[in-house]
Chains A and B, each alone.
Chain A
Amino acid sequence: MPILAYRDALNQAMAEEMERDDNVYLMGEEVAEYNGAYKVSQGLWERFGSRRVIDTPISEEGFAGIGIGSAMVGLRPIIEFMTFSFSLVAIDQILNNAANMRYMSGGQFSVPIVFRGSSGMAGCLAATHSHRLEAIYSHFPGLTVVMPATAADAKGLLKSSIRSDDPVIFIEHENLYGEKGEVPDGDVLTPIGKANVVREGSDVTLLTYSRSLINTLAAAEQLAGEGVSAEVIDLRTLRPLDLDTILTSVVKTHRCVIIEENWPYCGIGAGVADRIYQKVFDELDAPIRRVTVKDAPIPYNRNLEASMLPTVDRIVAKINDVLYRNA
């Protein structure tokens, strides 16, 4: 299997889908001539031309709305936010229009659109540019929220998202763009709504997604050396959540830690933990623990920023907690 960077896997997914379906187009700031702020759309403008790869002014609300309108009448836009932090400027379009359109129209209009772009605390970007908004988007019925952690899933999930008939919030991570991995050639789709058991284990279930998968796997590996067998699950889709895979694992291990680069309160982990408690409370031998970003705005200072992230140490500590290994 070819080895591709996450960035290139996304690029390949878009190229293949644009090749396959003329209704698919890419629009956003600096996506065409500049080849993308993060070079995800490298070469696409050259290949598909200005009809299908379109630079916009800095008008997020405007082009998000344009994408939604065009999707209502049959196109399949990919709308790139340079980062999801800027999607806040367009949030009315996404939440009021994209998410609600099918419902409000009694099923007459659907919105097959993908909003995609980078996100996260990528290093000294400070409070306005480091947002992770998956919890907000996952809150809204009508949206599908996808967050790939690997190059293979970046491609497979983006292709599935483009083919989805519903609006998909496809959140990438700036620090993952360079991560390389095996990516299947050609038309391989990763199903939406399906989590991936990345590492099997029997003592504790670790739920994570996006960049946190890296540290979570490192924590699992470290604990394996101490005789702890951790099962690592990459959620991949946050809405709809693959509860079956999660519960099967938790019922097996009886313990669960959720790792996310997200604020703790009303975050993804909080929501997922609640769904687990509702279903298999009696299977738990310890309260579910969550490792999150610390509950403060994101600082510019490098050390402070680093101190907020779910590090391997913080993850290991929480795992030891649920295993009662801290005494």
Chain B
Amino acid sequence: MPIEVKLAKVSPTMESGQIVKWLVKVGDKVKEGDTIAEVQTDKAVMPMETFDEGTVARIDVAEGVDIPLGARILVLAKKGEDPKQVAESVGGAGAAPSAASAPAASAAPAAAVSAAPVAVASHASGRVKSSPLARKIAESAGVDIASIPGSGPAGRIVRADVEAFVANGTKAAPAAAVAKTPAPVAKAKVFIPLGEDQNIPLDRMRQAIARGMVAAKTQAPEIHVTVDIRMDEVVRVRERLNKALAAEGVKLSVGDFVTKAVAMSLRRHPAVNATFNGDNANLAQAYVTRHAAVNVGIAVALDGGLIVPVLRNADMYGLRDIRVESEKLYEAARSGRLTADQMSGGTFTISNLGMYGVKQFDAVLALPQVAILAVASAEKRPIVVGDQITVGTMMSVTLTADHRAVDGASAAEFLRSLKGFLEEPTAMLL
């Protein structure tokens, strides 16, 4: 019996993926643990390994085609089996796959490589359930059916859901965190468009972002609490420490101080280092988990979106290690090589737009986490000290909290600690 290799779950939340690149071809021998392909998931490009030994008899899917989890992507002939015969018995010539040649494999849902992948998006828990009509409407509206909450039995997405979603589309748009470019300034001149409007389909990452943002905005009532923090001490300490670290080639950023201070504040305020688990429809069964570990996710902007690698046990690191470990994570993120482990398990998230010169912004929750911190630029502002107006380096941070779990006072207390640590960084040594 030949071995059917199926699209593996290489990211905790992926529902489907694309083979970005095949690393094997028909006729290649592979053994357990060999990387056979690079898979684009909702988060990143991941290597996919095989768990079997054999000769590649057939490649089922072309690069760049969207396929659901569990779909057969490749067939291995076992020792003693003729790869050619295997290829024939499992369906057609094995070589030169193309998007058009849909495999007739029994295990692979037919739609897997068809032109209409919309219908087969699946949740971690299984298929996305939707009525045929809902799918049709969603398709023609260019909406990913999977991003729409379903109101029918067992969460089936029905026409009404799609229509409501399409009608409220702008309201439910992803949060400011990803709004990198300011709106273009209107010009008085006659505007001649260059080229044509472009419809850009959502790629996996965009879809994942959209899904997450919609969930947060529809499920969690948010509160926002902002404080201004004087950063002059951080600036001074950073300068000194960086001199000391120059020999090692390590350079601390203001953000590293923020990460450290956040981690330490979370240690003191476990209510904010928490996740909300449960369903609004059944709050009797819901609960909040206060996490033992402080795992801080740090949002990283990428070309097509953003990704949140997680610095585990951030409260245990010194500033230097925070710098080193974060750098590793950023690097992996930018090259699309984050592992599933590096993307999961966060208990709190920091979104930092400091490098863009923003004064203040709100971030959208990364459910099930109950809080996220939006960090703006540190800038010189006139401030009042005593009764005197003077100039200080100020930074505004805004905590967005899930009010189901966190009240305004708790949020404020957390921010007071954070403010304390950053205004007097040596306190972090205590």
Chains A and B touch each other in the complex, with CB atoms below 8 Å apart: yes
Which A residues touch B160, using CB under 8 A? 324
Which B residues touch A283, using CB under 8 A? 132-133, 136
A283 to B158, CA, bound (A): 11
Q: Report whether B152 and A286 are in contact in the complex, using a CB–CB cutoff of 8 Å.
A: yes
Q: Report whether A285 and B159 are in contact in the complex, using a CB–CB cutoff of 8 Å.
A: yes
Q: Report whether B158 and A282 are in contact in the complex, using a CB–CB cutoff of 8 Å.
A: no
A282 to B133, CA, bound (A): 5
Q: Report whether A282 and B132 are in contact in the complex, using a CB–CB cutoff of 8 Å.
A: yes
Q: Report whether A281 and B132 are in contact in the complex, using a CB–CB cutoff of 8 Å.
A: yes
A281 to B136, CA, bound (A): 10
Q: Does B13 contact A (CB under 8 A)?
A: no
Which A residues touch B159, using CB under 8 A? 254, 285
Q: Count of B residues near A, CB < 8 Å?
A: 12
Map CB proximity to A onto B52-68 as digits: 1 under 8 Å, 0 otherwise.
00000000000000000
Shortest B163–chain A CB gap in Å is: 11
Q: Which of B109-138 contact A (CB under 8 A)?
A: 131-136
Task: Identify the closest chain A residue to B136 (Cβ).
Answer: A282
Which A residues touch B85, using CB under 8 A? none
Map CB proximity to B onto A286-324 as digits: 1 under 8 Å, 0 otherwise.
100000000000000000000000000000000000001
A281 to B159, CA, bound (A): 14
Which B residues touch A285, using CB under 8 A? 131-134, 158-159
Interface centre among B133, B151, B159 (most CB of A within 10 A): B133
Q: Does A284 contact B (CB under 8 A)?
A: yes
Which A residues touch B134, using CB under 8 A? 285
Which B residues touch A282, using CB under 8 A? 132-133, 135-136
Q: Report whether A254 and B151 are in contact in the complex, using a CB–CB cutoff of 8 Å.
A: no
A283 to B152, CA, bound (A): 16
Q: Does B153 contact A (CB under 8 A)?
A: yes
Which B residues touch A254, using CB under 8 A? 133, 159
Map CB proximity to B onto A247-277 as digits: 1 under 8 Å, 0 otherwise.
0000000100000000000000000000000
Q: A254-B159, A324-B158 are in contact. Are A284 and B151 (CB under 8 A)?
A: no
A254 to B133, CA, bound (A): 7
A-B interface, 5 closest residue pairs, ranked by CB to CB distance from nearest: A285-B133, A285-B159, A285-B131, A282-B132, A282-B136
What are 27 A-B contacts with C-beta separation under 8 Å?
A254-B133, A254-B159, A281-B132, A282-B132, A282-B135, A282-B136, A283-B132, A283-B133, A283-B136, A284-B131, A284-B132, A284-B133, A285-B131, A285-B132, A285-B133, A285-B134, A285-B158, A285-B159, A286-B131, A286-B152, A324-B151, A324-B152, A324-B153, A324-B158, A324-B160, A327-B151, A327-B153
Known: A282-B136, A324-B153. 19 other contacts (CB 8 A): A254-B133, A254-B159, A281-B132, A282-B133, A282-B135, A283-B136, A284-B133, A285-B131, A285-B132, A285-B133, A285-B158, A286-B131, A286-B152, A286-B158, A324-B152, A324-B158, A324-B160, A327-B151, A327-B153
